[in-house]
Every structure is written in C-alpha cells, then in structure tokens.
C-alpha cells in the first residue's frame, strides 16, 4: 500500500471512530458566556489550547468556521484531514517563530473572518511550554485570545510527549474557558514577550 493510500485509509477510519465515540461524550462547557459575547459583537478570537487536549476540543468546536494550525509532519497530515472532516480550515506548519509561513497563513484566515486555533506547545513540545506565535497573531489581527482546556471523567492517554488525551465512550468531558484577553503591544517583538503571561493564563484554566 502506498503512503498516500495508507494516510487516506487511516483518516477515513480515524474520522469514523472519532464520530462514533465522540457522539457518546457528555460535553459540558464552563465559562463560555464571554466567548458567545465576543462572537455576538463580531469579534474574532484565537483558541489557545495544549496539544495533548486537542481531540475533545476539536469535537467541541466542530463546524464553527475555525482555522487551526496543524504541523506538516505525517501525523499532522492525518490530524489535519480529520479536522477538515469536522469543518475546520487548516493552516500547515508551526507558529513557534513570529514570521513563520503558518503564522502568516493563520492571520490571513482571521482577517478573512474566521476564528483561529493554535496549540502553542505543538507540534512536538516540550509540553505546556508556550511558543510566542499566538501572541504575535493576536497583536497583529486584534483577535482576542481564548484559553481553553478539557478534562475527561474516563480516558486513555497515549505514551507520547504530550500524553494525548482520548476520552473513553460515554465519558463526561468538561471544557473550561479562561478569561478572554487582547494582546496590546507596539510591535510583534513586544507581543512575543507576553508569552509567559499567556502561558500562566492558560495553565490557570482547569484541565486534564
């Protein structure tokens, strides 16, 4: 089997399994009112989440006109195609550097009217270390950062660098939203210097 056929087969099976299992999850949103208010005021947002909690959060915001940054390596290709099957637009690459192609692509998506989503410790870690790309994107687009985390009552954990979270069938999945914040800075460099503040904000949100 060719590599491309193997990826297509994996995506087809993976997407079907995700829909089957996720349809049984009992999703509960906490602190979501500020997000609803921002969207009601036509304010763009950037969801900021840890890579290990990506799966249930992809399900939570499926079909909401969100563009998400996904890495370009082979595993990223599978995740990207599954995300697209859930209604996401995808931007390929890493936002760890402020001038990266992926960061520019995400800002274009936001300027076109979509919300954004970034895993600031992705694509390969270290886990829960906040790369500055999201701060730069928020500063340059005016989008609000939405810290978001997930926890499951029962789950599997992959033996990966991010201990990837997979809620089990019929698990209760709690999605917590932190304070929405703007990045006010005179330059992308000054925005990037706020990464430690934003990391602390994300870490303060309850998660797995």
Using one digit for the tens of pLDDT, what is the confidence trace for 136-180? 999 999 999 999 999 999 999 999 999 999 999 999 999 999 999
Q: What is the rounded CA–CA span in Å between residue 146 and residue 45? A: 7
User: What's the confidence (pLDDT) of residue 101?
Assistant: 86
Query: What does the alpha-carbon distance between residue 91 and residue 109 come to, in Å, rounded to a whole number?
Result: 9
Residue 160 located in a structural domain: yes
Res. 129: pLDDT tops 90: yes
Q: Phi and psi for 56 in degrees, rounded to 5?
A: -65, -25
* Residue 208 is assigned to a structural domain of this protein: no
In a domain, residue 115? The reply is yes
Domain assignment of residue 39, yes or no: yes
Phi, psi of 100 (to 5 degrees): -65, 155
Higher-pLDDT residue of 55 and 8 is 55
Residue for token pair 């006109």: 65
How far apart CA 84 and CA 68 sit, in angstroms, is 10
- DSSP 3-state assignment of 157? strand
Tokens of 166: 């997979």
In this structure, is residue 86 part of a structural domain? Answer: yes
Tell me: the pLDDT tens digits for 13-64? 999 999 999 999 999 999 999 999 999 999 999 999 999 999 999 999 999 9
Answer yes or no: is 67 within a domain. Answer: yes
Listed residue (146, 128, 137) closest to 48, CA to CA: 146
| 95 in a structural domain | yes
Tokens encoding 22: 């996720």
* Number of domains, the chain: 1
Residue-level pLDDT at 7: 79
In a domain, 37, yes or no: yes
pLDDT at 156: 97
Closest CA to 120 of 50, 24, 27: 50
Q: Which domain holds residue 48?
A: 3-203
């Amino acid at each position: 089997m060719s590599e491309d056929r193997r990826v297509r087969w994996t995506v087809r099976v993976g997407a079907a399994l995700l829909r089957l299992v996720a349809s049984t999850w009992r999703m509960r949103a906490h602190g979501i009112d500020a997000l609803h208010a921002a969207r009601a005021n036509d304010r763009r947002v950037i969801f900021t989440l840890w890579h290990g909690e990506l799966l249930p959060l992809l399900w939570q915001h499926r079909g909401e006109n969100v563009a998400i940054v996904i890495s370009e390596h082979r595993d990223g290709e599978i995740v990207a195609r599954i995300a697209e099957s859930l209604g996401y637009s995808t931007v390929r690459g890493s936002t760890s550097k402020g001038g990266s192609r992926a960061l520019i692509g995400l800002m274009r998506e936001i300027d076109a009217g979509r919300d954004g989503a970034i895993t600031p410790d992705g694509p390969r870690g270290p886990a829960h270390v906040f790369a500055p790309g999201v701060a730069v994107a928020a500063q340059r687009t005016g989008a609000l950062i939405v810290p978001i985390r997930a926890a499951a009552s029962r789950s599997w954990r992959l033996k990966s660098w991010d201990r990837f979270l997979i809620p089990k069938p019929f698990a209760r999945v709690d999605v917590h939203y932190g304070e929405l914040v703007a990045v006010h800075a005179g330059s992308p460099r000054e925005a990037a210097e706020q990464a430690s503040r934003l990391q602390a904000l994300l870490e303060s949100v309850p998660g797995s």
